[in-house]
Structure 1
C-alpha cells in the first residue's frame, strides 16, 4: 500500500506546532513521519526528552516514525552500532542511515532486538544494498528512502533517480522519496530552496510531484520534505488516487452533458495495442453506443487535447482519445477538454492496458 508522509524538525520548531501539524496531516490520511537528528546540537538528555515526547504523540495516531542519522550522530551520543536502544527508547520505528558504513554493520543492525527498521539511502547508483544483502542482512527489516536537496539545481536528474530506485525495487524493498511544499520554510539546515528529491519537481505543484513519483512505479511512499506544508497541500495529497494516474483537465465550454459524463465519470482503460499518436479509451464507446454525440466544429489535434468520436464516426462514436502527438483536424471527433499544461508529461506514464481517470 502506498503511503504519504510528512517531515518535522523539533530542533527548529516547538512541540505544540509539531503536534498540530502531525494531527492535521493524520486527518488527511498521512501515515508516516520523517525526522532528523543530523542537525541536533542539544545535550543527550534534552534531545531524548524532546523527541520522545513528539514521537509518543505520533504513535498515539498510529503514525510510523523514522529518524535520520549518520555516523556523526552515533559518535555524538556515544551510540554503539550493536545496540540501538537509544532510538528504541525514543519510540522510533526505524533509523535512516544518511551515510552508509561497510555493509556488515548495516547487516547486523537489521537483526536488532527492538525490531527497528533500517532505512537505507537510495540516492547513489552503487551496489550498496547488494553489499548489505551479501552480508546476510535481514531483508524484512530493510526499507529505502532517497535524499532531499535543499539547494536549487542539486536535486537528482530523472534517469539517475530511476537507476537508483530500480536497485531497491528489484529486491522487493519498500521505497520512499521526497516532494517539496511551497509554504514550508523549515528543514534541517538554514538553506531551504525546497526539499525535493528530483530537481525537476522543485517548481511543480505538490500534487503533480507526488503523481509523478507514483507513476514511475518505483516509489511506494511520498514524503513532504519541508515543514510546514499548508492545509491545502495536505488535502490535495490526501485526496490523490494512489494506485492509478489521474490527470487534471479543463473542459471546453461547448462540451455537452453526455461528453462531460464520458470524460469525468468513467474509469478509462488504455487500449493494449497502443498507438503512438493517442491514448484510446474504447470501452466507453460500447457503454454509450446509443447516446447522441452531435457533430460540432472541430479543431486540430494537439498534445493533451481530449476528443470524443461524434455521430459521424461510425463504430468509433463515443470513443475517448487523449492526444499524444499533434495531428491534423478530424471532423469526426469533438474536442471536449484538454490536460492542464503542468501535467502533460504524465501522459507518458499511461501504459498499455493502463487504467486512468480524468478529473476537473
Structure 2
C-alpha cells in the first residue's frame, strides 16, 4: 500500500456543542469566549431521536450560522440515516455546506466509494479507531482526495472503556505514516453530558484529569494534531489556562497560601523553570536573586506534591530559592512551605519541562 503523505500544519483546538437540549445565549457566549482563546473548530453529533428531526435541522443551522460568523470549522458526526432525517444527503454536498458544516465525521452507513466521492466536495473525518489498511487501499483505488481526509477518534462516555495510551500511540503512528491528521477528545471540567455524566475522553487515563494536561499529553506524546473538548463546557479559569499556554506558552497555576506565610506574595507571578531541570522539583530560575531581606525559618514541614517552597537563611547562598514540589519530599528545616498549588492544577506540574514558563496566581 502506497503512503499518501499530506503536508501537516499547526495543531488546532476544538470544542463540542450538542444539539439535544437546544442552543441558548450561554452557548453562543461560550463559543465566542473559546474562539477568542484560540479554539477554531466545533464538533457536534447528528445522531437524532425519531421525533426531533425538524428541531435538529433548525439547531444545526443556528450553530452553523454562529460558527461561520466566528470563522470556526464545524464537524458533524453523522450516519447516512441521520442525514436523511434532516433532509440532507451526501449526493448534494452544497446543501450540507449551506448549513455551516465544513466537515462530516462518517461512521456507519457509508461506503468507501461514497467517502471518496464526497472528499472532492467536503472535508471528511474517518473513524480513527476502526479504519484499517483495506479501507485506505479502497480509498486510494476510488480516487479519494486525501488532503480532505482526517482520522477522528471516538470519545468514550462509559468509565473503563477509553483507550489505553500505548494503543492510541500505535494507531496514531500508523495513521500519521499514511498522512492523516489525527483528532481526539479530552474531558471537560464544568458541564458534563448525560446520561452517564462521566466525562468524554478518548484515553481512559484522562477521564478525571485536567483538560489542558490531557490535551498537551495527546499532542506531545500521542501524535495527535487536533484536540477537542468532549464535554459541553470547561470552567472559565481552564479557558484562561488554555489561552495562556497556547498563545504565550505559559502554564497558569493557582496557589493558596499556607496560613500566615510571610513569603506568599513573593512567590506569586511569572517564573521560568531552569534549563537544567531537577527530578523532584520545578526550580524558578533566578528567583533567589530577587530576594530582599532575610528569610527566617517558617512552616518547615513535609513537602507534599504541589507545595511551593522558599529556602530560608539556613540554606546559605540558596536563600530565596523558589520551587514547586513534584514528588513528595520530607520536611527540611532549611526549606519553608509558602503555598500549595490547588488540587485541580497539579496535573499540569509533570508537564513543565526545561525552560518552560509558569505563573503562580492567588486562588482568591
TM-score, normalised relative to structure 1: 0.75
State the match for 1:146 in structure 2: 153
The answer on 1:26 being equivalent to 2:31 is yes
The correspondence for 1:266, drawn from 264, 270, 273, is 270
State the match for 2:355 in structure 1: 353
The answer on 1:91 being equivalent to 2:100 is yes
Note the C-alpha offset of 1:353.
Answer: 2.9
List aligned pairs for 1:40-59, cutoff 5 A: 40-41=49-50, 48-59=57-68
Contact 1:306 1:320 in 2 (8 A): yes
State the match for 1:7 in structure 2: 17
In the superposition, relative to structure 1, how do residues 299 and 125 fare at CA in structure 2: closer, same or farther (>3 Å)? Answer: farther
List aligned pairs for 1:196-275, cutoff 5 A: 196-203=201-208, 208-218=210-220, 219=224, 221-227=226-232, 229=233, 233-240=234-241, 241-243=244-246, 244-257=250-263, 259-261=264-266, 263-269=267-273, 271-275=274-278
State the match for 1:331 in structure 2: 333
Contact 1:124 1:164 in 2 (8 A): no
In the superposition, relative to structure 1, how do residues 47 and 278 fare at CA in structure 2: closer, same or farther (>3 Å)? Answer: closer
State the match for 1:79 in structure 2: 89
State the match for 2:162 in structure 1: 155
Deviation readout 1:45-82 (Å, 9 max, x if unpaired): 776555334422432333321111235546776834x6
Note the C-alpha offset of 1:320.
Answer: 1.9
Deviates more, 1:161-170 or 1:338-347: 161-170
Number of residues of Structure 1 aligned to a counterpart in Structure 2: 336
In the superposition, relative to structure 1, how do residues 74 and 53 fare at CA in structure 2: closer, same or farther (>3 Å)? Answer: closer
Deviation readout 1:77-107 (Å, 9 max, x if unpaired): 6834x65334223221111124596766545
Structure 2: gaps (5+ residues): 1-10
State the match for 1:39 in structure 2: 48
Note the C-alpha offset of 1:177.
Answer: 1.4
Note the C-alpha offset of 1:164.
Answer: 4.1
Distance in 2, matches of 1:129 and 1:280, equals 50
TM-score, normalised relative to structure 2: 0.74
The secondary structure found in structure 1 opposite 2:43 is strand
Distance in 1, matches of 2:309 and 2:81, equals 58
Note the C-alpha offset of 1:319.
Answer: 2.3
Distance in 1, matches of 2:137 and 2:321, equals 51
Deviation readout 1:207-226 (Å, 9 max, x if unpaired): x2233222443456554434
The secondary structure found in structure 1 opposite 2:320 is coil
List aligned pairs for 1:122-133, cutoff 5 A: 122-123=128-129
In the superposition, relative to structure 1, how do residues 56 and 43 fare at CA in structure 2: closer, same or farther (>3 Å)? Answer: same
State the match for 2:312 in structure 1: 310
Note the C-alpha offset of 1:294.
Answer: 1.2
Distance in 2, matches of 1:129 and 1:237, equals 38
Distance in 2, matches of 1:78 and 1:58, equals 19
Distance in 1, matches of 2:84 and 2:288, equals 65
Contact 2:308 2:325 in 1 (8 A): yes
Distance in 2, matches of 1:198 and 1:72, equals 29
Deviation readout 1:332-357 (Å, 9 max, x if unpaired): 32211223334434322222333333
State the match for 2:292 in structure 1: 291
Note the C-alpha offset of 1:25.
Answer: 0.7
